[in-house]
Amino acid sequence: MVRQSDGTTLPGWRDFERAIACVLGGFATESKAIFDVLVPSTLSPTTTYGLSVKSHQLASATAIDGLSTGGRVYMELSNSPAKFWAALESVGINEDEFRNRRKADVIGNMVLDTVQTWHTQAAEQFNRENPGKTLDLHTSAYVVVSYSKPRNNRPIEYQLHSFDLAFPEGIEWSYRSAKCLKGSDPDNPSETLFDWYALSGGQLKYYPKALNAQYCSPKFTLANVTRQIPVGEKAARYWPKEWLAAGGKTDLTVKTYSEELKLHSSLFDNAKAQEIIQKAVEELLKLE
C-alpha cells in the first residue's frame, strides 16, 4: 500500500496483483517470476494462463482521458541489464557497439527476443512442475493498471488494459541518445513503441496504444474506506486469544462490534441468518 499525506492509503503494485488474481479466480505468485498471476482456464482443466501485471501513474492529471483517443499505455518490462547483455554477448555484441551507436536493429530485436525467451522458459518450467498441465502463452497477457494523478479534488481514476505477449512485427530501431535505444511503432513510425536504457539501469519500456488493447475496462474509482483499522486492531480480530494472552489491548466496543456485525450480515444469502444476526445486534446494543 502507498500511504497518502492525509493518512489514507492507496493500493500498491502487490495489491493490484492480488486483486486481479482474486477477480479472475487465480493466484498471485508473489515472487520474481515472469508471470505475476496464474489463472486456470475456464474452458480446459489442464490449461493455465499467465499474467504479467504492470501499474503506472500517468504523467499528467488528464492523461487517462487521452487513452481512449490514441494515448499510450506505459509498461516497464524489465530492469535487468545483466540478462540482456548476457544474451547480446552470446552473439558477439558488447557495450562498445551501443556506445558507438551501431547495430541498432540487431540489438533492439535481440532485446525483444530475450523477453519472449523468458516467457517460453516460464511456460516450460510450469509444465515440468505441473505434469498434465500446460501454461498457454497464446492466452497469456500483459495486464496494465493505469491511474491518474489527483486533480481538483476529484478521486483518482483507474483503467485496465490487456495486451498480447507477442510484439508487433517490423519495428525499426534507432538511437535516441547515447544511453537510449528507441523502437519506432510500425503503424506510426514517428511515435515511440520501445525505449531501452542499456547503460543506465537497463529499463526496457513499452508504450502500446490503448486502442490496440485486447481488453479495456471502463474508467473506475475506488470506494473510500470509511474507517481505518490499525494493525493492532487487525491482529486482535485475527487472533483474539493470543492477542489478549500476550497483554494486547483493543479499542473494540460493544457498539463498534455490533456495527460490524450488522454490516457483515449482508454477506449472507440466507434470510433467516440475517434475521438472527439483526436480533443479536439489537440485544447487544441494549448493553450500551
Please state whether the predicted TM-score (pTM) of the whole model is above 0.85.
yes
Residue 266: inside a domain, yes or no? yes
The predicted pLDDT at position 257 comes to 87
The predicted pLDDT at position 95 comes to 93
Residue 29: inside a domain, yes or no? yes
Same domain, 179 and 260: no
The predicted pLDDT at position 231 comes to 87
Residue 192: inside a domain, yes or no? yes
Same domain, 39 and 127: yes
Residues 152 and 223: their CA atoms lie apart, in Å, by: 18
Helix (H) or strand (E) holding 99: helix 95-99
> How many domains does one find in the chain?
2
Instruction: Sort strands 141-147 and 158-164 into parallel, antiparallel or unpaired.
Output: antiparallel
Query: Do residues 127 and 133 make contact, with C-beta atoms less than 8 angstroms apart?
Result: yes
Residue 223: inside a domain, yes or no? no
Same domain, 199 and 248: no
Cα–Cα nearest to 261, from 252, 82, 171: 252
Domain end among 216, 242, 266: 216
Query: Do residues 145 and 158 make contact, with C-beta atoms less than 8 angstroms apart?
Result: yes
Same domain, 237 and 212: no
* φ, ψ (nearest 5 deg) of residue 102: -115, 160
Same domain, 73 and 34: yes
The predicted pLDDT at position 266 comes to 87
Domain end among 216, 246, 274: 216
State the residue range of the domain holding 40.
2-216
pLDDT, tens digit only, all 288 positions of the chain: 555 555 566 778 899 999 999 999 999 999 889 999 999 999 999 999 999 999 999 988 788 999 999 999 999 999 888 999 999 999 999 999 999 999 999 999 999 999 999 999 999 999 999 999 999 999 999 999 999 987 777 788 999 999 999 999 999 999 999 899 999 999 999 999 999 999 988 899 999 999 999 999 999 998 877 677 888 989 998 999 999 999 998 988 899 889 888 888 888 888 898 899 999 999 888 887
Same domain, 135 and 259: no
